[in-house]
Amino acid sequence: MLLTTETMVLNMGPHHPSTHGVLRFILRTDGEVIHLCRPDIGYLHRGLEKIAEQLPYAHFMPYTDRLDYLAAMNCNLGYAITVEQAADIEVPPRAEYIRVLVAELNRIISHLISVGTFAMDIGAVTPFTHTIREREWVNDLFEELCGARLTYNYIRFGGVVFDLPEGFLDRLSHFLDYFEPRLEQYNRFISKNKIFKERLVGVAVISRQQALDYALVGPNLRASGIDWDLRRDEPYSVYGDLEFDVPIGTSEFGVMGDCYTRYWIRIWEMEQSVRILRQCIAKMPEGPYLNKSKRKLKVEPGEIYVRTEAPRGELGFYLISQGGIRPHRLKIRTGSFSAMSIVEELGSGLMVADLVALIASLDVVAPEVDR
């Protein structure tokens, strides 16, 4: 006789500790196995695109901090580059280097949170306290730089708002000297941990084709074996002058494109960011840090789509101007949004506990999904 089973509908979220913000999943489960997974998003929708249409260009900068609060510098940078290209604003070389420096520093702390919460979501709470300790140091550096610890509002059209304080670069290299061996330590006690590995290898594999179809970006795309990084392939700012490698997922540790590969990509990217930071410190030019020539900003009618590489992948701003001081339309395309849209497809067939691992490995941040 066949065993009959019953499905039940389970609500996961909106207040679930592993959902990285406010997200809800409606799951139809049969025992532990998910038959259907429907993400329900929008709990953090703040209407940023509508707000952008009603504000002068410069006034929207603080809102980009809130676009992804774990990588505020990168969001600032993406928006600033978009408006600079549209309005033809020159950026002095020192400002370019400072921008890359803060963006890479922000990438490190964003990946630290990602790695830490990843371990915490699947049950290992201690690693999070270690990663957050390193992040605290960078937060102190940022506080020294611009007075804010999370929402920096530091980058301006044509440069940055403050110059580097006295001795900042020395303190930064001190941090890097401390941080680089830490990564090896993480590998010893998280990455190569047997339980961690067995828990993640081969879970929720995203194939090359799926990654392309769902327009995945950033670390999630590279984990599926696609060699694509905007910093190297379409260099913006001064990335063209810097040397770094782009880590690509391999099947060395199991299956390419699984949760474990996506975890490793972030560890490797932190190593590369340290490399970039050291070069920035060595090459930091003297000179002005802000181009003050255009105080009243007007953008000629036209449209432009600019994308930059944020920690969660490609961050695109599609700006349409009809002249004047406000944008006609500003569409924001984020990495977490496409990462979230693939969960619906990947979710069915997983165990409930693996769904938590999948979301953590995609490094989804809810405010970036909802905007």
Sheet containing 24-30, strands listed edge to edge, beginning at the edge strand earlier in sequence: 8-12, 24-30, 33-40
Q: Which is nearer to another protein, 143 or 345 (CB)?
A: 345
Report, in Å, the least distance between residue 49 CB and another protein: 6
Nearer to another protein, 140 or 303 (CB): 303
Residues of this chain that bind another protein (CB under 8 A): 41-42, 45, 47, 49-50, 86, 212-215, 226, 228, 233, 300-305, 307, 314, 316, 318, 320, 322, 328-329, 331, 333, 337-338, 340-341, 345, 370-371
Instruction: Tell me how far, at minimum, the Cβ of 176 lies from another protein, in Å.
Output: 33
Residue in 366, 183, 149 with CA at minimum distance from that of residue 269: 183
In contact, 274 and 180? CB cutoff 8 Å = yes
Nearer to another protein, 135 or 307 (CB): 307
Nearest residue (CB) to another protein, 155 versus 366: 366
State the minimum distance, in angstroms, from the CB of residue 249 to another protein. 15
CB of 293 to another protein, least distance (A): 19
Q: Which residues contact 285 (CB under 8 A, 6 or more apart)?
A: 93, 94, 97
Pair 228, 222: CB distance under 8 Å: yes
For another protein, the closer of residues 122 and 206 by Cβ is 206
The residue among 277 and 340 lying less far from another protein, judged by its C-beta, is 340
Distance (Å, whole) CA 165 – CA 199: 45
Q: Strand pairing partners for 318?
A: 305, 331
Cross-strand bridge partners of residue 291 = none
- C-beta of 199 vs 208, nearer to another protein: 208
Distance CA 87, CA 264 (A): 39
Least distance from C-beta 211 to another protein, angstroms? 9
Concatenate the DSSP letters of all residues of 197-218 into one string: HHHHTTSS---HHHHHHTT--T
Q: In the complex, what is the shortest distance from the CB of residue 212 to another protein, in angstroms, rounded to a whole number?
A: 5
What is the DSSP code string of 238-271?
Answer: TGGGS--------STTSSTTSHHHHHHHHHHHHH
Q: How far is the CB of 149 from another protein (least distance, A)?
A: 28
Q: Closest by alpha carbon to 349, among 60, 52, 31?
A: 31
Shortest Cβ 361–another protein spacing (Å) = 19
The single-letter code of the amino acid at 7 is T
For 216, how many CA atoms within 13 A lie in the half-sphere containing its CB? 28
C-beta of 316 vs 347, nearer to another protein: 316
Residue 116 or 313 having the CB closest to another protein: 313
- Tally of CA atoms within 13 A in the half-sphere of 27 that contains its CB: 26
Measured from the CB of residue 303, what is the shortest distance to another protein in angstroms?
A: 5
**H helix intervals, the chain:** 48-54, 61-67, 72-87, 93-121, 126-146, 168-186, 194-200, 208-213, 219-223, 230-233, 259-283, 335-341, 343-347, 352-362, 366-370
Among 61, 83, 59, 81, which Cα is nearest to 72's?
61
